Amino acid sequence: MKQLVNTFLAILIVAFGLMFLASRLNSAQGYSGGNTLTIYNWGDYVDPDLLKQFQEETGITVIYQTFDSNEAMLTKVEQGGTIFDVVIPSDYAIAKMREENLLLPLDHSKLPNLANIDSKFMNLSFDPGNKYSVPYFWGTVGIIFNPDMTKGIDFSSWDSLWDKRLKNNIFLVDGAREVMGMALNSLHYSVNDTKEEHLQEALAKLNKLSPNVKAIVGDEVKMLLANEEAAVGIVWSGDASEIMDDNDKLDFVVPEEGSNKWFDNMVIPRTAGNVEGAHKFINFMLRPDVAAQNTEYVGYSTPNVPALKLLPEDISGDERFYPPAELTDRLEVYDNLGKRMLAHYNELFLMFKMNKK
């Protein structure tokens, strides 16, 4: 008995000692004061030095919290119970949040730096007039390939994927919109096409791709491609830049028929506690020097025009990630197709997956 009591007392003492240590560290970092701002963002999606800089300039302490998918983030924001001041979801999630009335309208007079954003990234279908959201990073869906293994195939068109030489050599990302969109694009239709005959045509074309597809995979595609498990992958540009960091043999291209472009945008949820600070933070992130530094850290494409000029030429001049205007004009944002159409897309994608041998 004595031993039991002693052991448990020791455990409690250790636990409270650690708790004390944590609270000391917390207050040393300023996390426990009243003037704080909670950012809810993807893991490792901002330069931590910038958060420190923001803190020095405004005296507001930033608490950085992370999520791993739009859906997970939606659940947390919907339920309430915790205060987030700035959240950085992707386009379709913003449309959803807007519909469910989860967002606060932005006060544009407090965001003078919004003028830095390229006009072609403003006023998009998921948020007309940018009433609720401000662009943070953007990117495309394209083909990443290993020149050593593809023997000079030219990937500037989606049709190149159907080349017989690529047998069992392509990784597809496991997303109905991405894969269906690619097939639609290859037929010169819109990624948002809802005409049944076009969709069936796309499915038929996808089925012909089957022999070339090695696997349909999730985030592990980055590791697989970097390890040269297959020659070609359909991936988001952000992933592509990471893969190319790991293995510089690979190259990335956005096919000329067009493709999807995606956005991660900053929004203020309705439950925000520090709306004033949230505006300050968004405006801070839009500053050219800040956006440039952040772009260098994260490696995705920035929509900030003056920031681009501050970036070294090998980043801003990289047409793979900053495609020329005539291509970007052909890129489309995913529209919210509604529940039924989305289910249909998923169903078609499932049929393709089942057909695959």
Partner 1 sequence: MKNRRRVKNKNGIANIYLVLVFLVLYAPIFYLMYYSFNSGGTMHKFEGFTLDYYREVVADTRLMIIVINTLVIALLSSAIATIIAVIGALAIHHVRSRRAKNTLLSLNNVLIVSPDVIIGASFLILFTIVGIKLGFTSVLLSHVAFSIPIAVIMILPHLQEMSPTLTDAARDLGATRRDVLTKVILPIIKPGIFSGFFMALTYSLDDFAVTFFVTGNGYSTLSVEIYSRARQGVSLSINALSTLIFLFTILLVIGYYYLNQRKSRPPVQIAEPVAEAGVPR
Q: Which chain residues interact with partner 1 by CB under 8 A?
A: 1, 3-4, 7-8, 11-12, 14-15, 18-19, 21-22, 25-26, 28-29, 31, 36, 38, 42-45, 63-68, 72, 75-76, 79-83, 219, 222-223, 226-227, 242, 246
Q: Where are the beta strands (DSSP E) in 229-338?
A: 232-236, 251-253, 261-267
CB-nearer residue toward partner 1: 44 or 107: 44
| CA-based torsion, 85, 89, 93, 95: positive or negative | positive
Shortest distance, CB of residue 225 to partner 1, whole angstroms? 11
Shortest distance, CB of residue 306 to partner 1, whole angstroms? 26
Q: Where are the alpha helices (DSSP H) in 210-287?
A: 221-226, 237-246, 275-285
CB-nearer residue toward partner 1: 223 or 343: 223
Burial per residue of 239-257, b for 16 or more beta-carbon CB atoms within 10 angstroms, e otherwise: bbbbbbeeeeebebbbbeb
Shortest distance, CB of residue 11 to partner 1, whole angstroms? 5
Q: Which of 345, 351, 347 is nearest to 182 (CA)?
A: 345
Shortest distance, CB of residue 272 to partner 1, whole angstroms? 13
Q: Which of 78, 47, 118, 104 is nearest to 277 (CA)?
A: 104
Shortest distance, CB of residue 199 to partner 1, whole angstroms? 30
Shortest distance, CB of residue 18 to partner 1, whole angstroms? 5
Q: Which of 186, 88, 66 is nearest to 138 (CA)?
A: 88
Q: Which of 93, 119, 116, 90 is nearest to 328 (CA)?
A: 119
CB-nearer residue toward partner 1: 20 or 123: 20
User: Would you call 140 exposed, middle or buried from its count of C-beta atoms within 10 A (0-12, 13-18, 19+)?
Assistant: buried
CB-nearer residue toward partner 1: 101 or 119: 101
CB-nearer residue toward partner 1: 80 or 317: 80
CB-nearer residue toward partner 1: 67 or 345: 67
